[in-house]
Structure 1
Amino acid sequence: MKTPEPNACLDRLYRETGLTLRQFAQDVNRLGTERGTPLKYREPSVYQWLQGHMPREAVRPLILEALARRLHRPVTSSEAGFPSSPDQLKQPASTVQGLIHLGREDMDPSRRAVLGTGLFSVALTIPGWPDVVGRMKAIKTDPQRRIGQSEVQAVSAMTDRLSDLDGEFGGRYARPMAAAFLVNTVAPYLKASASSETRKSMMSAASFLCYLTGWMAVDEGAHGRAQEYYVKGLELAGASGDRRAYCHILRGMSVQAANLGHGTPAVRLANAAAEVSPESSPRMRAFLAGQQAHSYALAGEPTNAWNSLREAERAVNQAEGQLGTFGGFSSATLAYCTAEVRHALGDAKGSVKSLKEHFPLRDSTDTQRSKLLFSSLLAERQLEIGHLEAACATWNTVLDDYPALHSGRVDEKVAKIRTLLSPYRANSIARQTAERSRELLVK
């Protein structure tokens, strides 16, 4: 059997990361866990890859993503000395066909479990605004079906209802319904005959539904799948000429990256959203600057973080009116953003203070899920600064409402309680709180 030639391409990228063999293996293993396929690679495996032994096809995307996360840029199969995957050789699906494919896989909850969570890509190629404006003009329409503004209004109204369900009960509850609506109703509308104005309005409405479905996928921890919905939403926003939708989706993608701890991609996406923003109203400025502040803090840029946070504060003070279904920024949101910036910059005590300021400022537009998520963050940070009994009290308020919610993100927060409280088993309050969380998780 012929001895393989060393993989000079992979070796060059590996050396550029500055990692040891062990660290690189750990990075790949972590990504396997993130994807839902745990791995146990060690140094000899990495050494073999560098010597030219081809990794399994299923592992190659993890190696490319591990390199991309360290190098902060996309890494292709050919750049790493790997053959192109079958998926890369396929012709890209049209926006509508891609949407149908995505939605069909999500309509059946049992099928979603088989598909896994998908891998979040820090180097995902984001279609720029000039690249998507006016796309889909030449799409083949169905002469047997014609739509008007009433169908557009129906899609927008249904999106509002799904958003309400998502916020109140969680993404796991609402996402199959959103996917079925996309496949069975919205996709046919996108191919129907219509006036130019109606077609643009329908694509804009569909882009927001894609954004919402992606947001639901994030809530379930299906981060790779969420990115696919977000990109479809960007394509539809560009096709409709809707800068607001495009900007909103980019900002949502930044939130996703930030919540996963990827500061540099979060900054890139937040800044891209700000650059393409179609308006400079106080509410929109706050909406974008607040996310920029959090992203900069995670990326280790404190000056930019505080400057952006001050900009968000000024804009909130100027803003008037209530929040809309999508977007908006309030004093409660500002307090939460401040808490995130402080914590990312090492001020856990200040973060607790800001989170406590957040809750009295909430109003009817704030969701039950965000209440439980932010309360969980408060409890974790109270424990971090040594306030054990206060943390347990906060966690118990989360556990009071937890059974009614079907949210992967809240599940993760509740699952952490036992681990975080394990060093305090001698304390009866901590022991009771941990046991209560265990009982609720197994129900």
Structure 2
Amino acid sequence: MKTPNERLVHWLARSGMSRGELARRVRSKAIEWNQPHISPDTTRVRCWLQGETPRAPLPDVIADVFSDHFGYRVTTYDLGFGDGALADAALVYDTSFEATVRAVAELGRADVDRRKLLTAAPFAAVAGVEPSRDWLMNTLDQEPTSGPRVRLEDVTAVKSMFETFQRMDIFQGGGSGRLVLAKYMTSHVYPLLSRTHTRRVRRALCEAAAEQTYLLGWMAYDSGEHGIAQRYLIQALRLAEESGNSALGAHVLAGMADQATLLGNPQEGRRLAQAGRHGLSKTDSPACLADLWCLEARALAKLGDTTAASRAVAKSESVFERVRPEEEQAWAEFIDPAYLHGEHAMTFRDLGDPESSEVHAVRSIEYAHAQKRARRGAMSQAALAVTHLQRRDLDSAYAVGLRTLKLAGQVKSTRAADAVEDLQRRMRPFGKNRLVADFNDRAREVVKAA
């Protein structure tokens, strides 16, 4: 015996629609979906209420009907029909603005609810190819038309929240505030995207939503949830395109490049960084450009191209000299000497150049310490420890490793914990040395906590 669908019962009662009205609206919506064969009647609606789950794409069609009625996104999950094609939909860079709104709203709702389908979603190695291409083509489409009008004041309120969440990530790690941000976006921001706006307001709103959707992706990335991160980043890229802010789109591609390289696909990481640089051709953001050159260097180092990687680091440093923080957008705040020197240290670490790596690591550590940035400090201390291991100096590596552990323990960041585990792996050739054993004992709690 089927269990009644209490969620659907709730939403139908809340809407005030009769079963017959819902059936009529579903038939009409199905035609918009180019699914004219979908033709439910009141009997079929009663079956849904009694617990029957309709076949795809009907749950999504029904969700669209309720979304149109209420003026904000109601998901298949809300209606008791499960997640539908959520995990795959969020990987699509859709030309339809409405489809993008639907995908990002459902992604945020699933993230807040910590649904298993999403947490198990894999990273798709080639999913960035079409989004980066389509973003460069810069194709925009229709305006949304439903719901009350959004004002610039509403957008200002959204943008004012960005700095708070970004600084939470910078100083506490991605694991500290992501679900709070996801709840905020799902409850307050994504619903605004479905309402009516002037073109000026729409662009400003999409820019604000893109910034924070990127930040959600970055926080997921820092927490080691790469499948979720990738889906947020793709949707952030689409929203950035809608906003017309090409520097923001290039910034999103930088995040995608960083992730691709980290996950073992440096060729794709390099291509995404290059796409970002091409996208900056009609605007100016020295901070973003310096970051893109930096990330291309990281990819080139993984590919073993010493000459090209060193040249890219030099380009990054040269471009960064032009940065004027007051002229950069808020999302570029983290692209500073602590960050760039830390990344350059890892580039030279991967190239097997401990002398150059040490120079950059020390500079990064100094800046990070002054700013009390534990995550960046931990990652740069780890890079410095590796330079000692590459010189076979275990005593110095151990001392720096202890500072790495102290800083890594202060943040909720899988990347910081990964830096600790990388040190453990690199110490293995030293065998059963007492310093290695002691470091492993101390590292256990940090890795476990992450």
TM-score above 0.5: yes
Question: Partners in 2 of 1:330 and 1:87 — Cα distance?
Answer: 34
Give CA-to-partner distance per residue, 1:17-55, whole Å, 9 cap, x none.
xxxxxxxxxxxxxxxxxxxxxxxxxxxxxxxxxxxxxxx
Partner of residue 157 from structure 1, selected from 157, 160, 183: 160
Is 2:297–2:312's contact at 8 Å kept on the other side of the alignment? yes
**Which residues of 2 match residues 17-416 of structure 1 at below 5 A?**
94-109=99-114, 111=115, 115-116=119-120, 118-127=122-131, 128-129=134-135, 131-135=137-141, 137-142=142-147, 145-277=148-280, 278-321=282-325, 325-327=330-332, 329-362=335-368, 367-416=373-422
Larger mean Cα displacement after TM superposition, 290-299 or 211-220 = 290-299
Instruction: Give the whole-Å Cα distance in 2 for the aligned partners of 1:89 and 1:293.
Output: 32
Deviation at 1:298, TM superposition (A): 2.5
Q: What do the CA deviations read for 1:305-361 (whole angstroms, capped 9, x no partner)?
A: 233222222223343446764226444444334323323333234323321232224
- 1:424/1:252 CA distance change after superposition, 3 Å: same
- Alpha-carbon deviation of 1:276? 0.6
Per-residue Cα deviation, 1:351-390 (whole angstroms, up to 9, x for no partner): 2332123222447667322222222232234223312121
**Alignment CA distance shift 1:191-1:86 (3 Å):** closer
8 Å CA contact 1:287–1:327 kept in 2: the answer is no
- The separation in 1 between residues aligned to 2:88 and 2:323, in whole angstroms, is 46
Cα deviation, residue 108, structure 1: 3.0
For residues 335 and 380 of structure 1, do their structure 2 counterparts lie closer, same or farther at Cα, with a shift above 3 Å needed?
same
Change (3 A) 1:152 1:261: same
> Residue 240 of structure 2 aligns to a residue in which SS?
helix
For the pair shown, the structure with the greater C-alpha radius of gyration is 2
Alignment-derived partner of residue 63 in structure 1: none
Q: After TM superposition, give the deviation of residue 131 of structure 1 in Å.
A: 4.9
Structure 2 segments unaligned to the other structure (5+ residues): 1-84
Please give the per-residue CA displacement for 1:265-301, whole angstroms capped at 9, x wherever unaligned.
0110011000011424544432332222222332333
Instruction: Give CA deviations for 1:53-80 in whole Å, capped at 9, x if unaligned.
Output: xxxxxxxxxxxxxxxxxxxxxxxxxxxx
1:202-255 alpha-carbon deviations (Å, 9 max, x no partner): 001101111111101111212122111111011111112111111110111111
Give, in angstroms, the shift of residue 150 of structure 1: 1.9
Check whether the contact 2:420–2:447 (CA below 8 A) recurs between aligned residues: yes
The change in CA–CA distance for 1:431 and 1:298 in structure 2 (over 3 A counts) is: closer
CA contact (8 A) 1:117 1:221 kept: no
Instruction: Note closer, same or farther for the CA distance 1:245–1:193 as it changes in structure 2 (3 Å cut).
Output: same
Sequence identity percentage: 26
Cα distance in structure 2, aligned partners of 1:358 and 1:89: 39
Superposition RMSD in Å: 3.1
Distance 1:404 1:346 in 2: 29
- For the residue of structure 1 that corresponds to 2:332, the secondary structure is coil
**1:366-421 deviation line (CA, Å, top 9, x unaligned):** 73222222222322342233121211111211222333321122233334555544
The one-letter code sitting in structure 2 at the alignment partner of 1:344 is D
Between the two proteins, the alignment pairs up a number of residues equal to 355
**1:160 is paired with a residue of what secondary structure?**
helix
Distance 1:306 1:86 in 2: 41
Q: Distance in 2 between matches of 1:212 and 1:264?
A: 24
> TM (normalized to structure 2)?
0.70
